[in-house]
Structure 1
Amino acid sequence: MTSKKRRRSLEDYEIVERIGSGAFAVVWKATHKSNGALFAVKQFFTDRLNPQLRRRIHTEIDVLSRFTHPNIVRLFDVLEDEFSICLVLEYCAGGDLATYIKEKGRVREATARRFMQHLGAGLQMLHSANLIHRDLKPQNLLLSSRDKDVVLKISDFGLARELEPGDYAVTVCGSPLYMAPEVLQFQKYDNKADLWSMGAILFQLVTGDTPYHGDNHFQVLQSIKKYQVLQFPKSIVTGLNPCFVDLCQRLLCFDPEKRLIFKDFVNHNFFDSV
């Protein structure tokens, strides 16, 4: 496992602007003073961190330190002093996929295909290292730019964990709208839970909405149980590519044993569509 050198502070960087914030962290756009290179600096304030949050930060550092992959956001440095822990990350000028979908409403099928190929490539790298993400959602997928050659990158690995083949996880975590039913039902699960999340993201890209709705875990699960046969918006269903419909149905399969496996995802006819 690669260990990142830690410096005392952000003194080598110049803060440009705040690009995101939450209860425990702020994300800054910053430039390196020596060469002007752009970075995103994710700053966690230590006085706001409980032991669980500290574990999540160190999980993210651990996971990101293992990979240099075009579809996984890159970690360049970790800075720590008595006031904060800062992750110096690859800057993605296109923002997150959630904002992109909100602006576009729906995206062209060709764009959805491109994004899912990128997501699949990044996830394949994680799964090959026996890691599951457990919180795939548009907010955690970053876009390198808004240009035609945009690259999608997976980020936010605080809930990731190692899972050897044949083993299962049991902790309920993630975002309900993108969580697999086995997770919502407090059942054991494996990396197929990530594939359900991919299906929910694909559905949202092409239709402009999540496949199931609810304000909490229970409501989302009830929605999934009510509509186990995936429902597509009536206003657009006749114009949908049958390959897209089939891929969504096979990813958003209630029974994980019958859900599409990763090899069949990457070889699905949807990716051959014109």
Structure 2
Amino acid sequence: SSNSLSTVWKAEHLSSGDVVAVKQVYVEKLNKHLKSCLDCELNSLSSVNHPNIIRLFDAFPAENCIFLVVEFYAGGNLSSYIRLHGRVPEQTARKFLQQLGAGLEILNSHHIIHRDLKPENILLFGLDDDVMLKIADFGLSCTLHPGHYAEKVCGSPIYMAPEVDMWSVGAILFELLNGYPPFSGRNNVQLVRNINSCKHLPFSQLIVPALHPDCVDMCLKLLSANPVDRLSFNEFYHHRFLRRNSAILRAPFQIP
């Protein structure tokens, strides 16, 4: 496949025999922002190697371009999965979040925040019960050490706590459970206004009776508009909902 900025080929890695994707990026066509995104992607992916993060095998420059050799995937992304399947069972959502948490744990250990977690940037490998999630698209990621703040997110001069990724995880969990995102708006300004004015998350009443309180508790705390009240990564990773290994007990739950 190709566009004006890059071309992607399916290929075979000579040393390992693995099927890979080779992406040729035309560097001379990139503006300053896109070059910065490419640098972020290379810096982040070259730092980590984990089953739940898209793997960068190699990167090498050529005349006016750079070649990236990454894992090949044909399973689509989480966004297309939700469009196809609609809302997923709670146990499936938990399985997906456990994998997402495992990938974020390695990023957290390297002080990397993704800053653009969304279903479109989570790739799927395998089929049915063997589906594996891989975090991709690190173009807006950055390294952030404890006690510091990210000064820009998506080019906006705003301050975000390091737990910005946790908000995104909450939105992903909500969409998995309901089949639609928690917030909407005609544009970014209206979207932010709707988020700030939201008093109750719009859970589907069809699923509320079947949700375990631990599941809803995690979703509500991840989507807290106040970063102080939002779950930290450690609180998320050790939350009862993700640590529950046996079959989830069903209990009626009322959304506060």
TM surpasses 0.5:
yes
AA partner of residue 143 (structure 1): L
Kindly tell me the number of residue pairs found equivalent between the two proteins. 245
Q: Give the structure 2 partner of residue 121 of structure 1.
A: 102
Question: 2: distance between equivalents of 1:23 and 1:123?
Answer: 32
Q: Does 2:202 correspond to 1:231?
A: yes
Q: Does 2:167 correspond to 1:154?
A: no
CA contact (8 A) 2:153 2:160 kept: no
CA contact (8 A) 2:150 2:162 kept: no
Q: Alignment partner for residue 246 of structure 1, among 199, 207, 217?
A: 217
Q: Alignment partner for residue 208 of structure 1, among 168, 179, 185?
A: 179
RMSD across aligned positions (CA): 2.0
Q: Give the structure 2 partner of residue 39 of structure 1.
A: 20
Equivalent residue runs for 1:8-157 within 5 Å? 18=1, 24-32=5-13, 36-157=17-138
Asked which structure has the greater RCO (Cα within 8 Å, sep 6+), the reply is: 2
Question: 1: distance between equivalents of 2:121 and 2:12?
Answer: 23
TM-superposed CA distance for 1:83, in Å, is: 4.3
Q: Give the structure 1 partner of residue 167 of structure 2.
A: 196
TM-superposed CA distance for 1:117, in Å, is: 0.6
Q: Does 2:198 correspond to 1:217?
A: no
CA contact (8 A) 1:202 1:248 kept: yes
Q: Give the structure 2 partner of residue 268 of structure 1.
A: 239
CA contact (8 A) 2:115 2:153 kept: no
Question: 2: distance between equivalents of 1:131 and 1:268?
Answer: 21
CA contact (8 A) 1:107 1:208 kept: yes
Call closer, same or farther: CA 1:116–1:35 in 2, change over 3 Å: closer
TM-superposed CA distance for 1:66, in Å, is: 1.0
CA contact (8 A) 1:93 1:146 kept: no
Equivalent residue runs for 1:167-178 within 5 Å? 167-173=148-154
CA contact (8 A) 1:228 1:254 kept: no
Call closer, same or farther: CA 1:23–1:223 in 2, change over 3 Å: farther
Q: Give the structure 2 partner of residue 11 of structure 1.
A: none
TM-superposed CA distance for 1:147, in Å, is: 4.0
Question: 2: distance between equivalents of 1:34 and 1:127?
Answer: 31
CA contact (8 A) 2:78 2:123 kept: yes
Deviations 1:22-57 (A, max 9, x none): 553343332246765211223322342112211211
Call closer, same or farther: CA 1:35–1:264 in 2, change over 3 Å: closer
Question: 2: distance between equivalents of 1:193 and 1:105?
Answer: 26
Q: Percent sequence identity over matched residues?
A: 47
Question: 1: distance between equivalents of 2:89 and 2:21?
Answer: 29
Secondary structure of the residue that 1:148 maps to in structure 2?
helix
Call closer, same or farther: CA 1:116–1:27 in 2, change over 3 Å: farther
TM-score scaled by structure 2?
0.88
TM-superposed CA distance for 1:80, in Å, is: 2.5
TM-superposed CA distance for 1:250, in Å, is: 0.4
TM-score scaled by structure 1?
0.82
Secondary structure of the residue that 1:215 maps to in structure 2?
coil
